[in-house]
Amino acid sequence: MPRLLLHLALLLLLSHGFPAIESQQQLFREYIGAEGVNVKFSDVPINSSVEFHFILSFAIDYTDSSRPTPTNGIFKPYWDTENLALSQVSSIKNQHPNVRVAMSLGGDTIGEHNQFVFFQPKTPKTWLHNAIDSITDIVQAYNLDGIDIDYEHFMPGADPDTFADCIGKLIMYLKGKKIIRFASIAPFDEDVSQRHYIALWRKYGHLIDYVNFQFYSYDKGTDKKKFLQFFDEQSRNYRGGKVLASFGTDNSGGLKLAGGFLEACDQLRREKKLHGIFIWSADDSKKAKFRAEIESQTFLAAPSSIRPGPDPVLV
């Protein structure tokens, strides 16, 4: 297969990392489209003073049958493609020059029975070939800027090095061919997940721009002190990475906005540790009219205070 040989030859040549996207604006990221609640990009308030990333959730390498099965790297969009279509991607990016749109790969479950999505390549070489082709097609079709890696389930006895090489080489190729501008990973505090993502980070961390650590995976009732301890722990695990602070607007755990999340972020900012904020998810925030998004972006746009005064114009 000549194209596969070309892929592999390029991978051998690309031995150096690519710099993260540099911006003077603070970074805000938001997952969107996973829960079928008809949320649109245009529903979400966007502050022009932040760098804003929408992350489409999810592209999955499974069939869309009544009993989904793995396809060995052939990804398809499983987000709400009716409300988050190509035309909507182009429209939101044209209206807001500070907006970028990425897609997340994997996710937690698929189908009406919430079947777990596993990272399950039949053969790593074929998975990589299929993933390169199918992800390139989706990125180009939707005019996307980046990818996020959010596999959350791994087969018993799965090899972290296989995951690291498949995902690392995928990112390397997509960046080397300038198909994507940035890549992120979305680990959480669970032993199997951490083994896989830390293996990826150790081998290919120089290619990964952001670590979307799921701090909302910690216990409910997490307070500011514990959150800051968790943040420092994960910053050590992903040393040198841009670990983002996060919370969920669903019924997940972790430190919530009302529990002092922005106060904790303010301390991180004073210590020069804050690289940005992300939220799971716009779908869950819709019922509260995106108040969490407004407050988080207002905080990021302010120079130093968690109480910056009146909100800037949000559209």
Question: Which among 31, 133, 130 has a CA at the least distance from the CA of 84?
Answer: 31
What six digits make up the tokens of 300? Answer: 């990021």
Residue 22 has pLDDT above 60, yes or no: no
**pLDDT at residue 25, as a whole number:** 85
**pLDDT at residue 303, as a whole number:** 78
Confidence of residue 30 (pLDDT cuts 50, 70, 90): very high
Tens-digit pLDDT profile for residues 100-149: 999 999 999 999 999 999 999 999 999 999 999 999 999 999 999 999 99
Bridge partners of 109, per DSSP, are 116
End-to-end CA, the chain: 49
Handedness of CA 22, 196, 188, 79 (dihedral sign): positive
**pLDDT at residue 309, as a whole number:** 44
Question: Which among 151, 144, 133, 17 has a CA at the least distance from the CA of 93?
Answer: 144
Residue 157 CB coordination number (10 Å): 5
Residue 15 has pLDDT above 50, yes or no: no
What six digits make up the tokens of 60? Answer: 């999955």
Give the whole-angstrom CA distance, residue 128 versus residue 97: 33
Confidence of residue 6 (pLDDT cuts 50, 70, 90): very low
Annotated catalytic residue, options 30, 51, 152, 293: 152
Backbone angles phi, psi at 231, to 5 degrees: -60, -45
Residue 24 has pLDDT above 70, yes or no: no
With contact defined as beta carbons under 8 Å apart, do 189 and 217 qualify? Answer: yes
Task: Kindly provide the b/e burial profile for residues 180-203, where b requires at least 16 CB atoms within 10 angstroms of the residue's own CB.
Answer: bbbbbbbbbbeeebbbbbbbbbeb
With contact defined as beta carbons under 8 Å apart, do 245 and 210 qualify? Answer: no
Question: Which among 32, 25, 30 has a CA at the least distance from the CA of 51?
Answer: 25
Tens-digit pLDDT profile for residues 182-209: 999 999 999 999 999 999 999 999 999 9
DSSP string, 34-100: SS-S---GGGS--BTTEEEEEEEEEEESB--SSS--B-SS--EE-S-TTTS-HHHHHHHHHH-TTEE
Tens-digit pLDDT profile for residues 217-240: 999 999 999 999 999 999 999 999
Place of tokens 């407050």: 295
Give the whole-angstrom CA distance, residue 249 versus residue 296: 12
Residue 250 has pLDDT above 50, yes or no: yes
Tens-digit pLDDT profile for residues 64-96: 999 999 999 999 999 999 999 999 999 999 999
**pLDDT at residue 157, as a whole number:** 83
Radius of gyration of the chain (CA): 19
**pLDDT at residue 305, as a whole number:** 56
**pLDDT at residue 236, as a whole number:** 98
pTM to 2 decimal places = 0.91
With contact defined as beta carbons under 8 Å apart, do 72 and 130 qualify? Answer: yes
**pLDDT at residue 10, as a whole number:** 47
Give the whole-angstrom CA distance, residue 293 versus residue 72: 36
CB contact set of 309 (below 8 Å; sequence gap of 6+): 302
Give the whole-angstrom CA distance, residue 249 versus residue 15: 39
**Is-catalytic flag, 190?**
no
Q: Where are the alpha helices (DSSP H) in the chain?
A: 2-13, 86-95, 124-142, 160-176, 191-204, 224-237, 261-270, 282-285, 291-301
